[in-house]
A and B are shown apart, each in its own frame.
Chain A
Amino acid sequence: MAMNELLQYTIQGLAAGSFYALAALGLAVIFGVLGVVNFAHGACYMLGAVVAAVLQDTLGLGFWPALLVVPVLLFLFGVVIERLLVRWLVGLDPLYNFLLTFGLTLLLVDLVKRQYGVSGLPYERPEVLTGQIEVGGVGLPIYQLFVFGFSLLICALVWLLMTRTRVGMIVRAATERSDLARALGINVGRWVTPVFGFGIALAGIAGVLAAPFRAITADMGSNFIIILFAVVVIGGLGSIVGAVVAGFLVGLVEAFGQAYAPTYAQIMIFVLMAVVVLVRPAGLFGREEAAR
């Protein structure tokens, strides 16, 4: 019985961690190349879920096509935001970065509230992902397993993209030292917009994955972004592997914390963060090890 529950908590933790990992990955890539901390990332996660729900309601777009269409739409949204707003942050005091992206959050949340209310939107799950499978006598929700598997796949693809392609090499170089990359003939500016869009699209994928599983409300990103920053600090700002590992780690801490010390579940995440900051200020996979 106890083993059964351990297995269930582990899967639950990994499923919750999947959302953190995907979103933190986007945050890390954006910070790496643009030097911008995107406080609107929680709102982008929310947009992913809301857009999926709205497209299902209006066009009957199912879950599977949404996994492709919504990230593409969020990529375009990211491109527009970068061209119109974020690019002006270059060389400004980081305070402006906070003001702009946090302001953007408020704007997006209120626009969604205005358009779709605060109670949230319904979302239908695909039939094939409902129900449970028995693993050693324990019923595990198929959807949680799917979320974990799918996000691992996306993380692996991003990792391959970053380590096995020239684009990834350029992104890593620009992440580590942007001016040097330019002096070596890399047009870093050309990568800024697509990378921002890409990071936003990753948050969008997390949002689509959350749609069948969580309340789709304008505020769904507000709590999420707080945990997300703990993830990023634990993993190391700008580190791709760090974002993913810390995402799953925080998911597990959350699940086991809720199981054995519910009142302290969220506090434990921030205690973990504090310990990491004390022992390794740059995070578990800090700057020197970025992307490796």
Chain B
Amino acid sequence: MPDAVSTGPALLEIRGLDAWYGEAQALRGVDLEVHAGEVVTLVGRNGAGKTTLLRSVMGLHRQVSGSIVFDGTDLAKVPAHRRARMGLGWVQDDRGIYASLTVEENLLLPPVVSDSAWSTEKVYDAFPVLADRRRAPGTTLSGGEQQMLAIARVLRSGARMLLLDEPTEGLAPVIVSRIRDIIHEVRSTGGTVLLIEQNVKFAATVADRHYLLAQGAVVESLDNADFQARQGELLEHLGI
């Protein structure tokens, strides 16, 4: 199955990406590609550069060199909001729910960017709790509900590629399995996902391929079969 989707031009193609925070280099020559319809994880210890990589793709970290091409367009000169409108949907690790916006306003904030956008009804059908709390300030939701809202928000905007930063971190098993279902659904409808995941077991159940990051560089690229076979070794590498 991975082979089937890996053919053709990549939806996201990163070549020789370096990133700095002042003098400190956070990414070193990262090469990475994600094809349309794939689910790919970034695995690595804290500080390996995973979040910096997603922020660089989103255009929020600007101290970078190298090339990031999305859907055939070099993103170097494209500002963050235009990247979002091209179909990149970012869900940051703290979920990024606005306190000053209601649940529904949080949901409706991003502009609709493609035909694949979920309708508000579809979102509320999928996440009834959001419908019940639609008038409440966003941050009055529980952590798990906020994660649902954050993902629902980019789905409603019609993002073609989700960038999820540790979507399962700190959440109860029942919520984690709900997120797994969502990722499966996205994939089944042709969506693409690049996610950061520390939970190796969870990663193995949702992803087609995996990149292992260490000290800002890609040290290995694995398909899911290899990944599962080497789980024990990887866990040790991650220090988990």
Q: Is the CB of A185 within 8 A of B100?
A: no
The verdict on A177 contacting chain B, using a C-beta distance below 8 Å, is: yes
The residue that B109 contacts in the complex, of A173, A189, A292, with Cβ under 8 A, is A173
The interface residues of chain A lying within 8 Å CB-to-CB of B59 are: 182-183
Q: Let me know if B90 and A170 touch, CB within 8 A.
A: no
A176 to B105, CA, bound (A): 14
Those of B41-95 within 8 Å (CB) of chain A: 58-60, 79-85, 90, 92
B175 within 8 A of A: no
Report the separation of the CA atoms of residues A186 and B108 in the bound assembly, to the nearest whole angstrom: 12
Partner of B84, one of A169, A170, A176, A184: A184
Within the complex, the shortest CB–CB distance from A194 to chain B, in Å, comes to 16
B153 within 8 A of A: yes
Q: Is B111 an interface residue (CB 8 A)?
A: yes
Name, among B96, B100, B110, B154, the residue most crowded by chain A CB atoms within 10 Å (CB to CB). Answer: B100
Which residues of A sit under 8 angstroms from B113, Cβ to Cβ?
Answer: 185
Residues of A243-292 whose CB lies within 8 A of B: 288-292
B157 in the interface, Cβ–Cβ < 8 Å? yes
A169 to chain B: which residues have CB within 8 Å?
A: 101, 105, 108-109
A130 proximal to B (CB < 8 A): no
B157 to chain A, nearest CB (A): 7
The residue from B81, B92, B100 contacting A176, defined by CB atoms under 8 A apart = B100
On whether the beta carbons of B100 and A175 are closer than 8 Å, the reply is yes
Q: Do A182 and B99 touch across chains, with their CB atoms under 8 A apart?
A: no
User: Does A57 have its Cβ within 8 Å of any Cβ on chain B?
Assistant: no
Contact B81 A187, beta carbon cutoff 8 Å: yes
Of B79, B109, B153, most buried by chain A (CB within 10 Å of CB) is B109
- Partner among B80, B81, B100 whose Cβ is within 8 Å of the Cβ of A291: B100
Contacts of B154 in A (CB 8 A): 184
Task: Find chain B residues with CB under 8 A from A290 CB.
Answer: 99-100
Given contacts A173-B109, A292-B137, is CB(A183)–CB(B100) below 8 Å? no
How far, in Å, is A238 (CB) from chain B's closest CB?
10
**Cross-chain contact of A188 among B81, B82, B100, B157 (Cβ < 8 A):** B81
B111 to chain A, nearest CB (A): 5
Q: Is A41 an interface residue (CB 8 A)?
A: no
Q: Which residues of B contact A121 (CB under 8 A)?
A: none
B202 interface contact, C-beta 8 A: no
What residues of chain A lie closer than 8 Å to B100, measured between beta carbons? 172-173, 175-176, 289-292
Task: Please give me the residue from chain A that is nearest to B139 by CB atom.
Answer: A288
Q: Indicate if the CB atoms of A173 and B101 lie closer than 8 Å.
A: yes
Bound-complex Cα distance A187 to B59 (A): 13
The residue from B137, B139, B157 contacting A184, defined by CB atoms under 8 A apart? B157
Could you tell me if B157 and A183 are in contact, using CB atoms closer than 8 angstroms?
no
Q: Is residue A180 within 8 Å, beta carbon to beta carbon, of the partner chain?
A: yes
Contact A185 B84 (CB under 8 A): yes
Tell me the bound Cα distance from A87 to B83 in angstroms.
23
- State whether A289 touches B99 (Cβ < 8 A): yes
Among B106-144, those with CB < 8 Å from A are: 108-111, 113, 137, 139
Cβ-based interface call for A72 (8 A): no
Contact between chains at A176 and B110 (CB < 8 Å):
no
State A185–B154 Cα separation when bound (angstroms): 10
11 additional contacts (CB under 8 A) given A182-B80, A183-B59, A187-B82: A169-B108, A170-B109, A173-B100, A173-B109, A183-B60, A183-B80, A183-B83, A183-B84, A184-B109, A289-B99, A292-B137
17 contacts between A and B (CB under 8 A): A169-B109, A170-B109, A173-B98, A176-B99, A177-B98, A182-B59, A182-B79, A182-B81, A183-B58, A183-B59, A183-B96, A184-B81, A184-B110, A184-B153, A187-B79, A187-B81, A187-B82
